[in-house]
Amino acid sequence: MKMIYLDHAATTATDPEVLEAMLPYFHEHYGNPSSIYSMSRVSKNAIENAREIVANALGANPKEIVFTSSGSECDNFAIKGVALAKQQKGNHIITSSIEHHAVLYTCKFLEKNGFTVTYLPIDQDGIVKLDELEKAITPQTILITVMHANNEIGTIQPIRQIGEIARKNGITFHTDAVQTFGHIPVNVDNLNVDILSISGHKFYGPKGVGALYIRKGIKITPLIHGGDQERRRRASTENVPGIIGLGKAVEIAGKVMKSEAIRQTKLRDEFIRAILDNIDDARLNGHPSLRLPNNVNISFEGIEGESILLNLDIERIAASTGSACSSSSLEPSHVLLSIGLTHEFAHGSVRFSLGKQTTKDELDYVVEALPGIVKKLRAMSPLYKK
Amino acid sequence: MEPYSEKVMDHFRNPRNVGEIENPDGVGHVGNPMCGDVMEMYIKVKDNVIVDAKFKTFGCGAAIATSSMATELVIGKTIDEARQITNKVVAEALDGLPPVKMHCSNLAEEALEAAIKDYHQKQKKN
Ligand SMILES: Cc1ncc(COP(=O)(O)O)c(C=O)c1O
Ligand code: FES
């Protein structure tokens, strides 16, 4: 039987059309975009074309787009770059307690290097408290960074309002849109953002390529020094095939995003309902409606996440606990603890993330397999006494 | 993370001796401070020999497999022999554990230790 892949928030399969668009740039048009001869112009033009596609999708100017190696690099670049560029002005950064580690650990790193960071609390649905944000702002605040949607529980943040508050106070605002871009509308002016991170592999593009939107006039120090590429904001010979692939993935997303979001939201809600109807003492984590169309995160009382995943794997179902990157860490997810779950409940959570290929039949299969798995694990749990 | 061995997956898939023992001669209830996982071990002792052992575990795959293996290893052993069953012995019997999962096997050793201690305390009282 085929694997039922429900871990699209971790990564997606590269769309065959994307792959096809990339291939010639490995061996045919392999010229270094910075070189002078005509062969290089092909790759140079292709990069600029991709830049335009990304810019258009975001409602930005192509000059405001910098290609990077990943979502993680985008987050590091945005945060460290603004911190360094504005350190004369202040040393205070505001973020949320449920950011991806690429943001959280970058902030922790800056804390060890003379910056102070406020980690905003969130409510039980995972939404940042705006009044806490206003209270946290000081004359020293140089950057606010709050993610567009959370990778674990899928909650979508009030980015537009946060951006308004940032702008009113003259503070640079960055958002990590890695989980939203290509899935729901992301427009930099609607969202009032100054800097925004995206990553190719989360929406059927290749791994190892990202793009950072940097609004004109925003001060930022480069992370990678060297050559003159990317208007001197990021040195290194461009990952031409990757960038072409990213552009193609954005182009495809533009065509299918709307219908996919509707389709997946419907599947998502039916799936959540079916799980909660069939299994006692389970709860949905995250906001019921302000959530990514593809995100389902459920906690099962009295049992532990990894043992659920291993059992799902035996049934050929791929899901994850919290974020894939922390699946070997022992701590329960910082996101689930932040929304107020007990240690045990946080330990017993599973994230199913849907994708373009996900069908109703696949989800029905999971709904059938789950109760048995939960029952078996609960029977051997000393914490479940019902 | 490294994948689990076949033996670990076998014990995870079909855990031996799951459950509780009514009127046990010893019970050990321990938690893993590293991850918050929990294990209970029940033993039945006759003439200084562990004649039955059962467990309940809230934990990862490694925790469940080591619990299962530990109960298999102790059944039929004298109390003194059972004391020699360390987490390493359990892990080896499972053809090893991924390094990040070695701490999970402590749970089985400690639960067994606690069950034996409880047995001794009950003996003293009688
Ligand atoms: C919200 C969020 N930010 C950043 C990243 C990192 O992206 P990348 O894997 O491209 O470094 C991810 C995915 O892992 C993510 O979900
Ligand atoms: S992670 Fe807790 S016992 Fe293995």
Tokens of B101: 């999962």
pLDDT, position A346: 84
d(C-alpha A45, C-alpha A33), whole Å: 8
Residues 293-312 of A with CB under 8 A from B: 302-304, 306-307, 310
pLDDT, position A321: 84
Residue of B nearest to A379 (CA): B19
Atom 4, ligand 2: residue with shortest CA distance: B104
Give the closest ligand to the alpha carbon of residue B98: 2
A370 Cβ contact list (under 8 Å, min separation 6): A275, A278, A279, A312
As a whole number, mean pLDDT of residues A288-303 equals 96
Q: Angle at which helices B61-74 and B6-13 pack, to 10 degrees?
A: 80
- Taking the Cβ of residue A3 and every Cβ of chain B, the question of whether any pair is shorter than 8 Å is answered with no
Q: Angle at which helices A360-379 and A240-278 pack, to 10 degrees?
A: 60
CA dist list (Å): A212 to A72, A165, A174, A255: 11, 22, 10, 22
Confidence of residue A386 (pLDDT cuts 50, 70, 90): confident
A140-177 pLDDT, tens per residue?
A: 999 999 999 999 999 999 999 999 999 999 999 999 99
**In Å, how far from its chain's centre is CA A261?**
16
As a whole number, mean pLDDT of residues B72-85 equals 95
Answer whether residue A330 shows pLDDT above 70: no
pLDDT, position A323: 53
- Given the CA of residue A149, which atom of ligand 1 is nearest to it? 1
Strand B26-31 and strand A349-353: pairing? unpaired
> Is any atom of ligand 2 closer than 6 Å to the C-beta of B104?
yes
pLDDT, position A373: 97
B98 DSSP β-pair partners: none
Least confident of A88-92, A237-241, A309-313, B35-39: B35-39
Tokens of A40: 């290089």
**Proportion of chain A in helix, strand, coil states, percent, rounded to 5:** 45, 15, 40
Q: Which amino acid is at A274?
A: A
d(C-alpha A230, C-alpha A29), whole Å: 19
- Given the CA of residue B62, which atom of ligand 2 is nearest to it? 4
Q: Angle at which helices A240-278 and A38-58 pack, to 10 degrees?
A: 30
**Proportion of chain B in helix, strand, coil states, percent, rounded to 5:** 50, 20, 30
CA of B63 to the centre of ligand 2 (A): 6
Chosen for mutation from A310, A312, A341, A384 (greatest number of chain B CBs closer than 10 Å) is A310
Q: Do A304 and B58 touch (CB under 8 A)?
A: yes
> Is any atom of ligand 2 closer than 6 Å to the C-beta of B105?
no
Tokens of A221: 């120090």
> Is any atom of ligand 1 closer than 6 Å to the C-beta of A246?
no
DSSP letter (8 states) at residue A244 = H
DSSP letter (8 states) at residue A7 = B
Atom 3, ligand 2: residue with shortest CA distance: B104
Confidence of residue A130 (pLDDT cuts 50, 70, 90): very high
Confidence of residue A118 (pLDDT cuts 50, 70, 90): very high
pLDDT, position B100: 86
- Taking the Cβ of residue B24 and every Cβ of chain A, the question of whether any pair is shorter than 8 Å is answered with no
Decide: pTM greater than 0.80: yes
A chain contacts of residue B12, beta-carbon cutoff 8 Å: 307, 310
Q: Is the ipTM of this complex over 0.95?
A: no
Q: Which residues of A are catalytic?
A: 325
As a whole number, mean pLDDT of residues B33-59 equals 92
DSSP letter (8 states) at residue A202 = G
Q: Cβ distance A372 to A131 under 8 Å?
A: no
**What is the distance in angstroms between the Cα of B2 and the nearest Cα belonging to chain A?**
10
A220 Cβ contact list (under 8 Å, min separation 6): A77, A78, A81, A82, A85, A195, A214, A233
Q: Do B61 and A332 touch (CB under 8 A)?
A: no
Strand B38-46 and strand A295-300: pairing? unpaired
d(C-alpha A373, C-alpha A204), whole Å: 31
As a whole number, mean pLDDT of residues A215-222 equals 98
Best CA proximity match to B63, nearest among B4, B1, B20: B4
CA of A201 to the centre of ligand 1 (A): 9
Q: Do A310 and B15 touch (CB under 8 A)?
A: no
B3 DSSP β-pair partners: none
pLDDT, position A343: 79
Best CA proximity match to B57, nearest among A297, A299, A376, A345: A376
**What is the distance in angstroms between the Cα of B107 and the nearest Cα belonging to chain A?**
13
CA dist list (Å): A28 to A39, A145, A295, A316, A328: 10, 41, 39, 39, 41
**In Å, how far from its chain's centre is CA A163?**
18
Give the closest ligand to the alpha carbon of residue A242: 1
Q: CA angle A364-A349-A12, nearest 5°?
A: 60
pLDDT, position A115: 98
Tokens of A229: 């590429």
Confidence of residue A342 (pLDDT cuts 50, 70, 90): confident
Q: What is the CA radius of gyration of chain A?
A: 21
Residue of B nearest to A344 (CA): B36
